[in-house]
Amino acid sequence: MTRTLVVIGHGMVGHRLVEQLRARDDAGTWRVEILAEESRAAYDRVALSSYLDGKSAEDLGLAGSDFLADPLVRLRLGCGAARIDRAARTVLTTDGTELGYDALVLATGSRPFVPPVPGHDLDGCHVYRTLDDLDGIRDAAVDGAAGVVIGGGLLGLEAANALRLLGMRPHVVEMAPRLMPLQVDDGGGQVLAGLVGDLGLALHCETATNSIIAGPDGRVAGVELGDGSTVEAELVVFSAGVRPRDELAEPAGLARAERGGVLVDDRCRTSDEHIWAVGECAAVDGRCYGLVAPGYAMAEVVVRQLLDLDGAAFPEPDMSTKLKLLGVDVASFGDAHGTADGALDVVHANNAAGTYAKLVLSDDARVLLGGVLVGDASAYATLRPLVGRELPAPPERLLLPAGAGPDAGALPADAVVCSCNNVSKADITGAITGAALSDVAGVKACTRAGTSCGSCVPMLKTLLGECGVAPSRALCEHFEQSRSELFEIIRVTGIGTFSELIGKHGRGLGCDLCKPAVASILASLGRGHILDGEQAGLQDTNDRFLANMQRNGTYSVVPRVPGGEITPDKLIVLGEVARDFELYTKITGGQRIDLFGARVEQLPLIWRRLVDAGFESGHAYGKALRTVKSCVGTDWCRYGVQDSVAMAIRLELRYRGLRAPHKLKSGVSGCARECAEARSKDFGVIATDRGWNLYVGGNGGFTPRHAELLAADLDDEQLIRLVDRFLMFYVRTADRLQRTAAWIESLDGGLEHVREVVVDDSLGIAAELEAAMREHVAGYADEWAGVLADPVKLSRFVSFVNAPDAPDPTISFVAERGQPRPGPVVLPMPSIRPDSEEVLA
Amino acid sequence: MTTWHPICPWEALAPACGVPALLAAEPVALFRTHDDELYAVGNVDPFCGAGVMSRGIVGDRAGEPTVASPMLKQVFSLRTGECLDDPAARLPTFPVRRHDEMVEIAVP
């Protein structure tokens, strides 16, 4: 018989509980009603800040379509719980529905604590908990103005970073003498303060907040601190801790813990055997936990009880945290403050490098109890699973910078590598060998390790290596090298042909994977027209015919219309060409005009007309820069703040013909209304009243992604310089057919690394990248004109070598909406089923 | 009896490139590989019905000379016409030779 589970709260833990229940309840014994107070289904609150850094609400969503379509799950959005009637076993919802339950789980989470200082409820005061809160902060943010964050804990620093991303100057007020008092110690706090201070954060430690000051308009104007001084501010964010949301408990007669929270035992059960509490609202044996990993562990404990599986009680929670705040690594794990009897510290601080590392050891200095890492947390993945175990190496060695530390072999099999999802080393190595996994993606899919906070991903790579899986970077069966390695080989050796390259560095004859990749590299390096000599045979059909092959073997032709700006005369030429060659005409999504249905032998005739009228190839066929889309900007638009059309034309002409691992698109918007949809592009530019914001790594396609901010308020020359560097860095180092978004993700350090290399020139290669781009710009020539001027190249544009004018009998057209479209295939298909030896039908 | 049809001069074929030809109204894709071997297969991609095989990329898979359809990238053996990605599909093959300075194809 199907029983009913009601879950109050659809946060990360409530969602995990239902998801795990549904995954394991094969018999369908439970149907689930979920009450979600927010208007959205569960999302990744741990990654909340990334919402202001390019991620959309959808990106953060946790509930997939499978989950939402599950007939045994009903999610009531925008609906909370008003009252629990334990005797009747019902929950009254805020919209007046009465839901009966056989089991009830409270997953109501916590609410931000707002200290009752005078003025705390003024307009301009915010908290930092939900996507709606962030929307509110975003709307209220004033570019260039100061904002105050009350609370210098983990969340406070995130909020400060959010203000910074929104263009504000953040101040942080913290009562304790140091930042992140719960996670780090004095030494770590000092290093952290130095690092975040360098990033433009003003710190006010060891001080209280007396009041929030109102301006004449009744809105927040500043904050008065404990010493009587004031900080002017347009906006205040309270981040002074959270309080469990336990208000349903008392009216229902459920016990609360002394310091708040629904009191539960170590199986997360309240005094009522039908009611459990999990996550931040639950006080397990009297203690609340404000991290997601213990919440997930509680969800697991309850699911096992609901399904009558053998279950352990709530385990000793792992309170470890690792995060990147304002680009600064901070990690703390185990007994970070050394509260155990006789605990010893070993500290390694390097003020010059801005790193701090502390290990907490047992009194005999043999067992690792915990630690704090600031500035460089690369040792976290190895150290955290060792908590409670004997040290595999002397502590000094464990504290040395990355690379010198212990390897994964030092980890015992039962050490938990992914604490978010409670996956042990043995689980992972077992999956790698058992399911013959070959990469991190496989390990993630198979074990869930690395799918939450991601801090153990480097360890997953190490474990793959330990299991004998060398991640293959081979381009294909002909080359063991990756694309970026081949790029460097070709660049450095000056090799100019595929035959020479494969003869010296590969094997066999090549294939449709390596040949176009090498063709692209040769083109990126400006080694001749793409149809010169042997290069012609390397090109994919689109590049070989400089047009886009369509489903019936004809091509479409897209002339370049830089920035989408076109004169009436040129428009007329396009219309005339389309009419004369009976081409289907369509405006593309990228603001270009596409002429479809051209036969191979017609292509040169069409190009001749277009080139004579001043058009050139739009490279719509290549893994190359396609379009730079634009809005009308200040020329015509009431709202435009910069000349987006001129900038789009400038960018499109600068990068036209640039060959890349994948096609590239761009857009320039003249104001924040973003009419050019620049953030769905590989590089997008959005005007501000102080210049240009540059976004990178967006795309449409299978996995749409918004581009993320790389640099803000650039003038024209700064913008061009950064785009030059970004594109050339991508062209040189990305894998074959890897879009910019995937490329950025694949880099250690992701976008931050790109920023270091492209903006801060951390590798010292910026000048070289710029020079390479200058060379590309100087070497540009129209590829269509190149074919028209070369009889050998032209000779390939025939329907048949022995009947150059005979039309291809496989091509036919029918009319639709007044234009041609491909007709049905007229030839008998020479496809032969295996049971027949007949070759021709 | 085999009748050889002259198609084009040998020079018209670039190594590792295909050319389309018409053989008694039948579209044929003619290839000269890197080592100057000649192959002729049907030009029509059996997966989509378009005459495009001659525009595919020539290469090898584990030593077998191949062409990859430019349409949906299935790889075919130039020797047997068999699709190496889907044994259910196959291209017709034709005898081909270099005779004097001409390339000739026969209908079997």
Task: Please state the domain extents for chain A.
Answer: 3-111+244-306, 125-240, 320-406, 410-472, 483-539, 622-781
End-to-end CA distance of chain B: 9
> Confidence class of residue A453 from pLDDT cuts 50, 70 and 90?
low
Are B20 and A509 within 8 A, CB to CB? no
B52, closest residue in chain A (CA to CA)? A553
Per the CB < 8 Å rule, is A511 touching B66?
yes
Give the pLDDT mean for A598-602.
95
Instruction: Please answer whether residues A13 and A292 qualify as being in contact, where contact means their C-beta atoms are separated by less than 8 angstroms.
Output: yes
The H or E element spanning position A202 is: strand A202-205
Q: Is there a contact between B57 and A540 if contact means CB atoms under 8 Å apart?
A: yes
* Confidence (pLDDT) at A833: 38
Closest CA to B20 of A808, A787, A538, A840: A808
ipTM of the complex: 0.96
Percent of chain A with pLDDT over 70: 95
CB contact under 8 A, B7 and A541: no
pLDDT computed for residue A471 by the predictor? 65
CB nearest to A800's CB, from B20, B63, B68: B20
- Given a cut of 70, whether residue A423 has pLDDT beyond it is yes
- Least confident range of A42-51, A239-248, A498-507, B22-31: A42-51
Q: What is the pTM of this model?
A: 0.58
Superfamily of segment(s) A125-240:
FAD/NAD(P)-binding domain (3.50.50.60)
Q: Which of residues 2-41 of B touch A (CB under 8 A)?
A: 6-8, 12, 14-17, 19-22, 25-27, 30, 33-34
Report d(CA A499, CA A740) in Å as an integer: 29
pLDDT at B1: 66
**What are the chain B neighbours of A515 within 8 Å (beta carbons)?**
57, 59
**Residue B70 in contact with partner chain A when CB distance is under 8 A:** yes
Model confidence at A836: pLDDT above 90: no
Asked if A516's CB is within 8 angstroms of B20's CB, the reply is no
Q: Is A834 on the interface with B (CB under 8 A)?
A: yes
User: A588, exposed or middle or buried, with CB in 10 Å at 0-12, 13-18, 19+?
Assistant: middle
- What residues of A are in contact with residue B96 (Cβ under 8 Å)? none
Which residues does chain B have within 8 Å of residue A832's beta carbon, measured at their own beta carbons?
Answer: 46, 89-90, 92
Contacting A residues, span 782-811, partner chain B, CB-CB under 8 Å: 795-796, 798-803, 806, 808-811
pLDDT tens for each residue of A245-276 = 999 999 999 999 998 999 999 999 999 999 99
User: φ and ψ at A346, to 5 degrees?
Assistant: -125, 120
The strand order across the sheet containing A3-8 reads A73-77, A30-36, A3-8, A103-106, A275-277
Best residue in B23, B36, B45, B57 for a mutation probing chain A (most A CBs within 10 Å): B57
pLDDT exceeds 50 at position A840: no
- A549 lies within 8 A of chain B by CB: yes
What's the rounded mean pLDDT across residues A157-169? 88
> What pLDDT, on a 0 to 100 scale, did the predictor assign at position A182?
77
What's the confidence (pLDDT) of residue A400? Answer: 64
What mean pLDDT is predicted for residues A122-148?
92
Structure tokens of B25?
A: 């109204």
Q: Which two tokens stand for residue A720?
A: 């061009």
Give yes or no for residue A65 having a pLDDT over 80: no
Is it the case that residue B82 has pLDDT exceeding 90?
Answer: yes
Q: How far is CA A742 from CA A439, A485, A702, A708, in A?
A: 15, 18, 12, 13
* A671 known member of a binding site: yes
The CATH class given to the A3-111+244-306 domain equals alpha beta
Say yes or no: A812 contacts chain B, CB-CB below 8 A: no
Q: Cα(first)–Cα(last) distance of chain A, in Å?
A: 60
Is B15 in contact with A552 (Cβ distance < 8 A)? no
**Between residues A225 and A189, which one has the greater pLDDT?**
A225
> Which pair of structure tokens corresponds to residue B6?
């002259």
pLDDT at residue A835 greater than cutoff 60: no
Q: Is B77's Cβ below 8 Å from some Cβ in A? A: no
Choose among B46, B87, B96, B95: nearest CA to B69. B46
Query: For position A408, what pLDDT does the model report?
Result: 54
The pair of structure tokens assigned to A647 is 């900038």
For A320-406, which CATH class?
alpha beta
Highest mean pLDDT among A182-186, A392-396, A409-413, A517-521: A517-521
DSSP A330-367: EEEEESTT--STT-EEEEEEETTTTEEEEEEE-TTS-B
* Per-residue model confidence (pLDDT) at position A383: 84
Predicted confidence at residue A18, as pLDDT, reads: 96
Q: Averaged over A112-131, what is the pLDDT?
A: 93
Q: Which of B8, B50, B70 sits opposite A552 (nearest CB)?
A: B50
User: Is the distance from CB of A245 to CB of A239 less than 8 angstroms?
Assistant: no
How far, in Å, CA of A427 to CA of A480, rounded? 31
- Chain A segment 717-736 residues within 8 A of B by beta carbon are none
Spatial separation of the C-alpha atoms in residues A597 and A796, rounded to whole Å: 18
Confidence bin at A407 (pLDDT 50/70/90):
low
CATH class of B4-106: mainly beta
CATH class of A410-472: mainly alpha
Average pLDDT over residues A135-146: 91
Q: How does residue A797 score in pLDDT terms, banded at 50, 70 and 90?
A: very high
Per-residue pLDDT for A841 more than 50?
A: no
Poorest-confidence range of A150-154, A166-170, A314-318?
Answer: A314-318
The pLDDT of residue A556 is 97
pLDDT-derived band at A498, boundaries 50, 70, 90: very high
Subunit contact B70:A541, Cβ cutoff 8 A:
yes
Contacts of B80 in chain A (CB under 8 A): none
Range among A297-301, A411-415, A830-834 with highest mean pLDDT value: A297-301
| A801 contact residues in B (CB cutoff 8 A) | 7-8, 12, 19-21, 30
Instruction: Tell me whether domains A3-111+244-306 and A125-240 share a fold.
Output: yes
Contacts of A13 (CB under 8 A, 6+ apart): A107, A109, A278, A279, A280, A292, A295, A296, A298, A299
Mapped onto helix, strand or coil, the DSSP state of residue A746 is helix
pLDDT at A404: 41
**CA A284 to chain CA mean position, Å:** 34
Q: Which of A697-706, A725-734, A740-749 has the lowest mean pLDDT?
A: A697-706
Nearest to B48 among A534, A551, A839 (CB): A551
Q: How confident is the model at residue A405 (pLDDT cuts 50, 70, 90)?
A: very low
Q: A537 and B15 in contact by Cβ < 8 A?
A: yes
Look at B51 and A499 and tell me if their CB atoms are within 8 Å. no
pLDDT score for A330: 82
Q: What is the mean pLDDT of residues A274-288?
A: 94
pLDDT on residue A410 = 67
From chain B, pick out residues whose CB is under 8 angstroms from the CB of A809. Answer: 25, 27, 51
Q: Does the distance separating the beta carbons of A811 and B51 come in below 8 Å? A: yes
Give the whole-angstrom CA distance, residue A51 versus residue A259: 32
pLDDT digits (tens, 9 = 90+) for A638-685: 999 999 999 999 999 999 999 999 999 999 999 999 999 999 999 999
Kindly indicate the confidence band of residue A838, based on its pLDDT and cuts at 50, 70 and 90: very low
What is the per-residue pLDDT for A326?
63
Q: Of the candidates A656, A663, A703, which has an alpha carbon nearest to the alpha carbon of residue A682?
A: A663
Distance from CA of B40 to the nearest CA of A (A): 13
A–B interface: beta-carbon pairs under 8 A: 133
B97 CB within 8 Å of a chain A CB: no
Residues in chain B: 108
The more confident residue out of A90 and A180 is: A90
Parallel/antiparallel/unpaired status of strands A625-630 and A664-669: parallel
- Best A810, A812, A833, A838 member to test B by mutation, with max B CBs in 10 Å, is A810
CB contact under 8 A, B51 and A809: yes
Q: Which residues of A touch B104 (CB under 8 A)?
A: none
Contact between A810 and B51 using a beta-carbon 8 Å cutoff: yes
- Residue B47: is it exposed, middle or buried by C-beta count within 10 angstroms (0-12/13-18/19+)? middle
Our CA-based measurement puts residue B27 at a distance from the nearest CA of chain A, in whole angstroms, of 8
- Indicate the pLDDT class of residue A342, thresholds 50, 70 and 90: confident
Question: What pLDDT was estimated at residue A327?
Answer: 64
Q: Is A79 annotated as a binding residue?
A: no
- Average confidence score pLDDT of chain A: 89
pLDDT at A462: 79
DSSP state of B13: P
Q: What kind of architecture, by CATH, is found in domain A622-781?
A: 2-Layer Sandwich (3.30)
